[in-house]
Amino acid sequence: MRKNILLLVLALCTVFTVNAQNKVDNLFFEARGGFMNTINGDDYAGHFTGDFFNLQMFGHITDNVSYRVRQRLNKNPFVADNIFNATDFLYFSWQIDNNWSLDFGKQEIYIGGFEYDYAPIDVYYWSDFCNNIPQSYAFGLTAGYEFDVNNSHEKIMFQVANSPFSQGDLDKHLSYNLIWFGEFAYWWKTIWSVNYVNATNNIDKQYLALGNRFELDNMYLELDYTLSSTDYVGSICGKFNYNYNDKFNFFLKGGYDENSYISVLTQTEFEDTYTYFGGGVEYFPLDNKDLRLHAAYYHDDRNEDAHRIALGATWKLNVINNR
């Protein structure tokens, strides 16, 4: 199977017109670590953490064929017969013309919502919906069409990829995803999707995900609403961010998740709700964004006595930067 995929990639690459030298545009390492404080009633626990250590690479094979790689160097690469477990991105993108594009390889499974679209290294705590997706990256094929409406660049993409509930290379489940990166106005951006997902328990899932971002000067509000036709009833996630002088980001984030599922043993329906909130500040001490300091607070109603405070830093080490 892997040999067939490699041969397909090589065959496709040979038909492209070579107008540029095969080169790496950007190669860098990025990391995040810090000190996690947990206060649970009268108990306190604190420890240093190493959260992320990633290698990222962007490049071109020709003028109209680019590629991207993101490898998590601190994640177990071999899980459930999946030799690409630690690989988020490993794909090439063919820009067919000014509108059409085709992506093949390991890529993001396109589910709508702004929270879901963030890189994990930029998120300090997640909604229940995102936490319950086993994998957000999988091998697949994506066709995209970009268009210009009132000077706004919007894109519709259709993707066939392995299911987010797949368990390694031997799993045959797929997902079918239609997503729109849109803009109703200069102050209202969207990431909306409809998704049909095969699950490993032979129960298919359908998602309707509506991500909205409202921008005004140096602040924005993100509101995500996700609805599922099966055991997951719905999720609402909101984030408010205020940027001061390009040096500070102040943010508040919270949400509400409702689950409903039927016990296989008793055929009894259960419901579960989950509320969470928090906030924090990010500080960029340099003129660029290569170093970020953060302090974030988080609390949820499943652990009513637990309060978590994360202090830390995210930093970037450029190796090649031709952008």
- Whose structure tokens read 């039927």? 262
**CA 240 centroid distance within chain:** 18
State phi, psi for 132 to the nearest 5 degrees. -95, 10
More confident: 285 or 80: 285
Read off the pLDDT of each residue in 108-115 and give the average, rounded to a whole number.
97
- For the entire predicted model, the pTM comes to 0.88
Cβ–Cβ under 8 Å, residues 29 and 314: no
**pLDDT digit string (tens) for 4-30?**
444 444 444 443 334 456 889 999 999
The span from the CA of 193 to the CA of 211, in Å, is 9
Per residue in 42-62, pLDDT tens? 899 999 999 999 999 999 999
The tens digit of pLDDT for each residue in 298-315 reads: 999 888 888 999 999 999
pLDDT at position 1: 42
Any idea what DSSP says for residue 151?
Answer: T
Q: In whole angstroms, how far apart are CA 34 and each of 49, 159, 260?
A: 5, 37, 36
Q: Which of 70, 120, 63, 109 shows the shortest CA–CA distance to 90?
A: 70
Q: Average pLDDT, stretch 173-184? A: 95
* Per-residue pLDDT at 323: 72
Distance from C-alpha of 68 to C-alpha of 319, rounded to nearest angstrom: 15
Pick one of 3.90.1300.10, 2.40.160.10, 3.30.499.10, 1.10.3720.10 as the CATH number of 2-321.
2.40.160.10
Distance (Å, whole) CA 108 – CA 243: 28
User: pLDDT tens digit string along 220-257?
Assistant: 999 999 998 765 578 999 999 999 999 999 999 999 99
Domain locations in the chain as residue ranges: 2-321
Helix (H, G, I), strand (E, B) or coil at 4: helix
